[in-house]
């Protein structure tokens, strides 16, 4: 459970820590970043988990997402996990940018050879938080929210919907909202989970929301200039439609004119997503 500190960087009055640990669930050393806001020096602070998209590491959003700006004002820590195991040398894991390394899709792989370490679901929901809370006593393990971008938006929505009560709130940027019906999701789920599409549905936000009971308050931003949205990889309308048909209220998708799939979009709206999380983390 020990954590190695690789760098400590002053940011918005707090500290961005570049960390790593030997992870059992993913069978490799995993890098991650943790932003400690200034308030963490004197009190326990809640945690917002940010799940990154395809090809990204913990660093991209730490550098370009601007979450530290809002988190430093609200007194919320931000935990940035990596997007897959790295260096396992699973055959084919480096052959594509949208599968394997950098593309763990926040599931536990059940299909060989990826079942040997591609367990980002267990890693993000259990091992990483347990490791972080054991190492950083200034974090309040009872107050955790989750957000993410693209593949990480899929991760945030599915982890939230699969674990009622585990996270205080959820939001997403350009989430892959219905992976069983888009090329990215179909490729990932067939490769990690095999051909049984019933298993795929257990990791599809549009399918999961049909089973949701109780209140919901999901903030989603999607840019109308996002090429992956235009290509049908994100399908937020399917999530909205499924929620409506299931009588689940509180799925708010904001279609932001002209915004693209990049971190420029995240930087623009990250304050809103921190604010959304703060409503529930700081009650």
Active site residues: 150, 226, 261
Buried b or exposed e, range 71-94, using 16+ CB within 10 angstroms? bbbbbbbbbbbbbbbbebebeebe
| By CB under 8 A, residue 55 contacts its own copies | no
Q: Cis (ω within 30 of 0) for the bond into 113? A: yes
In whole angstroms, give the CA distance from residue 25 to residue 247: 37
In whole angstroms, give the CA distance from residue 193 to residue 170: 25
Name the minimum Å distance from CB 260 to its own copies: 6
Q: Which two tokens stand for residue 199?
A: 């298993």
Comparing CB distances to its own copies, the nearer of 69 and 111 is 69
DSSP reduced 3-state for 133: helix
| By CB under 8 A, residue 68 contacts its own copies | yes
List 66, 105, 123, 192, residue binding its own copies (CB under 8 A): 66
Residue range at the interface with its own copies (CB under 8 A); choices 13-21, 45-53, 139-147, 274-282: 13-21
β-pair partners for 170: 146, 218
Comparing CB distances to its own copies, the nearer of 38 and 113 is 38
Name the minimum Å distance from CB 211 to its own copies: 35
Query: Contact, 24 vs 44, CB < 8 A?
Result: no
- Near its own copies in 237-266, by CB under 8 A: 256-260, 262-265
List 3, 96, 180, 267, residue binding its own copies (CB under 8 A): 267
In whole angstroms, give the CA distance from residue 101 to residue 97: 7
Comparing CB distances to its own copies, the nearer of 59 and 140 is 59
Question: Which residue ranges make up the site for its own copies (CB under 8 A)?
Answer: 9-13, 15-16, 63-64, 66, 68-69, 223, 225, 256-260, 262-265, 267-268
């Amino acid at each position: 459970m020990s954590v190695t500190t690789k760098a400590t960087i002053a940011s918005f009055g707090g500290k961005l820590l570049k960390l790593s640990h030997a992870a059992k669930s993913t069978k490799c050393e995993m890098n991650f970043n943790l932003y400690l806001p200034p308030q963490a020096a004197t009190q326990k602070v809640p945690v917002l988990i940010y799940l990154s998209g395809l090809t990204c590491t913990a660093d991209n959003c730490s550098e370009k997402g601007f979450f530290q700006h809002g988190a430093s004002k609200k007194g919320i820590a931000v935990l940035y996990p990596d997007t897959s195991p790295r260096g396992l040398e699973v055959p084919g894991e480096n052959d594509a940018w949208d599968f394997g390394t950098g593309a763990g899709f926040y599931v536990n792989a059940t299909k060989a050879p990826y079942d040997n370490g591609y367990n980002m679901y267990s890693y993000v929901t259990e091992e990483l938080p347990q490791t972080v809370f054991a190492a950083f006593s200034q974090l309040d393990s009872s107050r955790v929210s989750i957000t993410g971008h693209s593949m990480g938006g899929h991760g945030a929505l599915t982890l939230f919907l699969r674990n009622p009560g585990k996270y205080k709130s959820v939001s997403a940027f350009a989430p892959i909202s219905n992976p069983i019906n888009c090329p990215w999701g179909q490729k990932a789920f067939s490769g990690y989970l095999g051909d049984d599409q019933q298993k795929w549905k257990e990791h599809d936000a549009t399918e999961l929301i049909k089973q949701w009971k109780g209140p919901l308050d999901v903030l989603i931003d999607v840019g109308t200039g996002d090429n992956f949205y235009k290509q049908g990889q994100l399908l937020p309308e399917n999530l909205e439609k499924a929620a409506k048909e299931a009588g689940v209220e509180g799925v708010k998708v904001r279609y932001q004119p002209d915004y693209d799939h990049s971190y420029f979009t995240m930087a623009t709206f990250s304050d809103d997503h921190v604010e959304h999380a703060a409503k529930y983390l700081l009650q």
